[in-house]
Structure 1
Amino acid sequence: MIFPLSIVSFLGLVCLALLASPYPFLAPGAVLGLVGVAVLFRKPAWGLLGIAALVPLEGFFKDSALSGTKLIGASLALILMLQLALHQIPSERLRSNIWRLLIGFMVFYVLSMLNTDDLGMSLGHLRELSVGLILFVITLLIGREMNLDLFARLVTLSVTLTCALAMFSSKYQDQGRAAGLLEDPNAFAMLIAFAVPLALLLVIRSPNLLHRLFWLGCFILLLGGMTKTESRSGLVVLFLSLVIGAWHYRVHLTRIRPRHLGFAMLGLVIVIPLAIYAMPAGYVARIQSLSILSSGAKAQDESLGRRASYIVVGSQMIRENPLLGTGPGTFPLHYATTGYAKAFSANRKVGDLYRRAHNTYLEIFSELGVPAGLFFVGMLALGLYNLMRARRAWMQRRNWQQADLMTHLGMSFLSLTLFLMFLSAPNQKYVWIMLALTSVLRLKAEESPIPEAKA
C-alpha cells in the first residue's frame, strides 16, 4: 500500500510553515502527526483498536475540544475515504445485513427532526449520534483486519485501569460511588460489564500460569469496580452474562470428578463471605431497595422514583406522538415541564430539571416515534443473531477457539444492549463498533471453508 506523496508534501509544508511562524514549537507535533497518519494508512485497524482502548479514558480529555478518540477517528475516516477513492479497499466490505434497518431508522430520524419541538436540541443529538454512525462505517471497512484477541486485551486493560483509579482514589468517585473517568457511575458500570466477558476469555486462553494470574487479577479488579459503582442494573446485567457464559461451557462439567466437589465447596465457603464482607454497605442497601419497585414514582428510593417518573413521561410522549415523536433529544424539554422534575430536583437548578430518560429505548421511542424505535431494537437484535450465527458456523467447522470468541463477544454485546435499558447512550462507541463487527464476523465465519470429513 503506497502512501500518497501529496499528503507527505502537504504535511512537510505545514512543518515548514510552523517553523517560520511565531509557534515553532508546534512543528514536532506535525512530524508526529505525519508518522501517525502514515501508520494509520498502513494499518488502519490499529486506529480502531486505539479508539476502543481510549473509550474508558476519554475523561482525561473532557475539558479539551480535541480528544484522542476524536483525533484518531477523524484521521481514520479521512484515510479510509482516500483508500476507497483509490480502490485500495474494496467497497464490498460495506456490505451488511444491518443496513436496511439502519437506513429505515435514519429515515424516521430525519422526519422526526423536521417535526421537532426544539431544533437546537435535535441538532446536538444528531451531532452525538453521527460519531456512532461514523464508527459503524469504519468498523465495516476494517473490521476484518482487526485482531480480536488484541481488542480484548486493550479493552480489559483500559477498563481495569479506570477501575483501579476509581477504587483507590476519591477523585474518580461520585458521592462515594465509583465513576472512573466518567460522570455517571452507571455508565462506568456499563464499561465494566462489557469488559468482564473479555477478561474471562483472556483467563481461559492464557498460555501459562503467570498470564492466567495476571488476567485473573484484572477480572477481580473489574468485579471490585462493579461493586464500587453500587449499580443495581450492573449487577443484574453482569449476572445474566455470566450465566450465559456458564451455559456455553456446560460441556466441560463432565470433567468434574467427585473429588473436585470438596475443593469447590471449600472455595465457595471462603469466597462468598469475603465477597459479602467486601461489598459496600450502601450497595447492599441499594440492592435491598429493589423490593419497593412496585411502589411507583413515589417510592421511598429516590433513584427508583425518578426512573418510574421517566417511564410515565415517556409513555405520555409516545401516546401523543406515536409516529414521529417529539424530535431527537427533546425528552428533557418535556420532562422539565412536569411536576416530577420539581419533585426529584434537589436544588431546582435548570440542569437538574432537564433530565434524560436514562433508558435509551424509552428515549428513542418517545423522541423519534414507534417506527424508529422498532428499527433500532431490530438492529440490536439482528446484531445478537449475527453473533449466534457466527458461533454456529465456527462450531460446524469445528473451530472451537473461534466459537468461544463469538460467545464472549456475544456476552459483551448483550451486556451493552441490556444496559441501554438503564442509560441514555444511543451514541455509545462500543455499541456501534460491536454492531458493525457482528455482521463482519458472521460474513467471515460463513465464508470460511468447511473442512472435509475424514474417511
Structure 2
Amino acid sequence: MTTWSEPAMSVKRRSSAGNDQATKRRKRLNGFVGGALLLLLALAPLPFGAVHAFTWGVFGLGLGLLGIVYSVGLARIGIGPNVSPAELPWATGAFALYCLFLVLQLLPLGAIAPSLTAFWANGMEFSSSTISVAANQTALMLLRHLTYGLLFFLMLQASQNPTRREFVLNAILLIIMGYCLLGIVSLQSGDTVLGLNKTSYMGSATGPFVNRNSYATYLAIGAMIALVKAGRVLVRQASRHSHDGMVPDTITKTLLYATGYLLLVGVIFATNSRMGIVVTMVGSILILVILATRLGSAWRLLLPVAAVLLVATALAVFLFGESVLARLIDDSSSSVTRIDLYQQTWQLIWQRPWLGFGGGAFEQAFAWAAHAPVGPDLRWDRAHNTYLSLWSEMGLIVGSLPVVLFIALAVRLVAALVRQSDDWAFQAIGLSVLVVVGLHSLVDFSLEIQANALLFTAVMAVAVGSTLPAAERRSKAN
C-alpha cells in the first residue's frame, strides 16, 4: 500500500503546484489586460470623443492585438479564460447574430432588398448592389461592434477578481473626473475644444467632445459611480454593530465621493444638456431607492446623501440654470424639427422594415428620403434617437436585439440586487448606468459616440461579471 500511495501523493502535489502556478500566471495576465483596457478608456475621449473612422481603426487594432496577446498568453499557460462566452449564452448569441447580419448587409444581395423610393414628388429611386446603401459605413460599424464585443470579453476576464474590479471602477471614475475638470477649464478659459475654437455649442461645456449631450452622458456615468460608492460607505457603516464604532475612513470616503458627485453634476449643468440633467437625476433617484432597500431601518443615513443631491442641484441651478432655462424657452422650434425628423425616420424604417438600409448608413438613406419640413438642405447624419437609428439601419428584428439585450441585462442586475449579494454596489452602478444611457438614447445619439460606447461597455462588463454564479469561487484565483 505504501509503495503505491507515495508516488500517487507526489504526483497529486506536483499537479496541484502546477495548477497554482498556472493560476498565478493567469492572474498576472489578467492584471496586464486590465491595465491596458484602462489606458484605452483614458485615451478614447481625447480625439473629440473618438468620432472619426481613423480612431475606430486605431482602437479596433489595439484591442485586436490585446486579444491576441491574451489568447497566446492563455495558450502558453495551458489554461482557459476566467469566463467563457458560453456562460452568457443570451448575450453571446445576440451579439453574434447582430454582427452576422452586418456581414449579410455587405454581401452582394442588393437585389433582394426593396429599392429606396424618395419621398419627393419626383419619384426617383435608389438601389445598391448590397443590402447596405453605404457599404463602407456598414463595414466600419462592424469594426466598431467587434471592438465593443472584444472589450466586453476582456474586461469580463480582468474584473473577476473583486480587488481588481474595485480598482477598475475607481480608475474609471478618476478618468471621468479628469475629463470633467478639463471641460470646466476649457469652458472658462476661452470656451474651446482641446484648445481649438468651437464651431458650435458656444457657452456650453463639451470637454474633449464635439457634442454637449454626448459629454453629459459621459459625465453622468461617472456621477452614478460616485454616488453608489458614497452610498456603499454608509451601508457598510449601517451593517456594523453600534458597539464596534465607525468603519475606518467612513467620513473621508463619503466626502471624497460626494465631492466628486457634486462636481460632476455641476459640469453636467454646464453642458446645458436638458436630457443630460434629466437622466442624471433619474439615475440618482434610482440609486437612492436601492440604497434605501439596503439600509432598511437605518434609512436615515440617507439624509446626508439626499442633502448632497439637493445642494448639488441648487448650486448647479444657481451657476448654470439660466442657460438651461434659456434653452427650454428658445429651442421650441428645435423640438418641432426633432419631431418631424422622428416621423420621417419612421417612414424610412417602413420602406425596409426587415432588412434595413445598412449599419451606419442612416445619413445616406435619410439624405435621399428627407423632405419638408425637415428638408434635404440640412445634413442629418444621426436620427437623434438611437433606437430609431437601429431600426432604420438594421431592420425591426435585428435592430431590436440591442434593446432586448438591454432589458435582459437590467433583469439580470435587478435579480442580483434582490438576492442581496455582497457585490450589490457593482450591480447598482450597472443598473443606474443602463438607465441613464437607455433614457438618453431616446432623444439623442450619445451611445453612437465611440468614447461613450467604450466606457458603457467596460462598466457593464464589470457589473455583469459580478452577477456570475461562479464569481466568488473565481475571486481568489483571478
Question: For the superposition of Structure 1 and Structure 2, which TM-score range results when normalised by the shorter chain?
Answer: 0.7 to 0.9
Tell me what 2:149 maps to. Answer: 133
Matched, 1:371 2:393: no
TM-score computed with the length of structure 1 as normaliser: 0.74
| Residue of structure 2 equivalent to 1:414 | 435
Worse-matched range after superposition: 103-112 or 375-384 = 103-112
Contact 1:152 1:202 in 2 (8 A): no
Contact conserved, 1:93 with 1:140, CA < 8 A, in 2?
A: no
Matches within 5 A, 1:145-294: 145=161, 147-169=164-186, 170-172=191-193, 174-205=201-232, 207-251=249-293, 252=295, 254-255=297-298, 274-288=315-329
Tell me the CA shift for residue 219 of structure 1: 1.3
The aligned runs of 1:419-438 (5 Å cut-off) are: 419-421=440-442, 422-423=444-445, 425-426=447-448, 428-438=453-463
Alignment partner, residue 360 of structure 1:
386
Deviation of 1:405 after TM superposition, in Å, equals 3.0
- What do residues 159-197 of structure 1 show as CA deviations (whole Å, max 9, x unaligned)? 222222222321237311111111111111111111111
Following the alignment from structure 1 to structure 2, what is the Cα–Cα distance between the partners of residues 63 and 119?
17
Report percent identity of matched pairs.
21
For residues 270-299 of structure 1, give each alpha carbon's deviation from its aligned partner in whole angstroms, at most 9, with x where no partner exists.
776544321242211224568xxxxxxxxx
**Aligned residue pairs, count:** 391
TM-score by length of 2: 0.71
1:45 Cα deviation after fit: 2.2
Asked if structure 2 preserves the Cα contact closer than 8 Å seen for 1:54 and 1:158, the reply is: no
Which residue of the partner structure matches residue 104 of structure 1? 97
Partners of 1:308 and 1:325 in 2: CA distance:
21
The equivalent residue for 2:424 is: 403
| In structure 1, C-alpha distance between the alignment counterparts of 2:432 and 2:312, rounded to whole Å | 24
Which of the residues 286, 289, 311 maps onto 2:342?
311
Structure 2 counterpart of 1:293: none
Q: CA deviation at 1:105?
A: 2.1
For structure 2, the 5+ residue unaligned runs are 1-16, 19-27, 108-130, 234-248
In the alignment, which of 360, 363, 370 is matched to residue 332 of structure 1?
363
* Contact 1:234–1:419, Cα closer than 8 Å, also in 2: yes
Deviation at 1:424, TM superposition (A): 5.7
Deviation at 1:200, TM superposition (A): 1.2
Structure 1, 99-108 or 214-223: larger mean CA deviation: 99-108
Q: Deviations over 1:215-261 (max 9, x none)?
A: 3222111011100111111122112111111111224474477xx99
Secondary structure at 2:467 match in 1 = helix
Task: Decide whether aligned partners of structure 1 residues 148 and 307 sit closer, same or farther in structure 2, where only a CA change above 3 A counts.
Answer: farther
Gaps of 5+ in 1: 3-38, 291-299, 450-455
Deviates more, 1:265-274 or 1:188-197: 265-274
Go from structure 1 to structure 2 and tell me whether the alpha carbon gap of 1:177 and 1:212 turns closer, same or farther (over 3 Å shift). Answer: same
Matched, 1:88 2:120: no
1:326 partner amino acid: F
Question: In structure 2, what residue type is equivalent to 1:335?
Answer: F
Q: CA deviation at 1:369?
A: 0.4
5 Å-filtered alignment, 1:387-398, equals 387-393=413-419, 395=420
**Letter matched to residue 391 of structure 1:** L
Structure 1 residues 403-446: Cα deviation after superposition (integer angstroms, max 9, x where no partner): 23321232123222222222163451123334444542221467
Q: Distance in 1 between matches of 2:306 and 2:137?
A: 56
Measure, in 2, the Cα distance between the counterparts of 1:69 and 1:416.
22
Measure how far apart 1:301 and its partner are.
Answer: 2.6
Deviation at 1:152, TM superposition (A): 2.4
Q: Partners of 2:284 and 2:307 in 1: how far apart? A: 21
Tell me the equivalent position of 1:29.
none
Letter in 2 for 1:247: V
* Larger fraction in helix: 1
Query: Quick check: 439-448 or 192-201, which moved more?
Result: 439-448
How has the CA–CA distance of structure 1 residues 125 and 437 changed in structure 2, closer, same or farther, with 3 Å as cutoff?
same
In the alignment, the residues of structure 1 paired with residue 287 and residue 267 of structure 2 have an alpha-carbon distance, to the nearest angstrom, of: 20
Q: Structure 1 residues 71, 319: closer, same or farther in 2, change over 3 A?
A: closer
- The alignment yields a C-alpha RMSD, in angstroms, of 3.7
Rounded to whole Å, the distance in 1 between the matches of 2:470 and 2:366 is: 46
- Mapped to 1, the partners of 2:360 and 2:49 lie a distance apart of 26
Partners of 2:102 and 2:61 lie apart in 1 by: 27
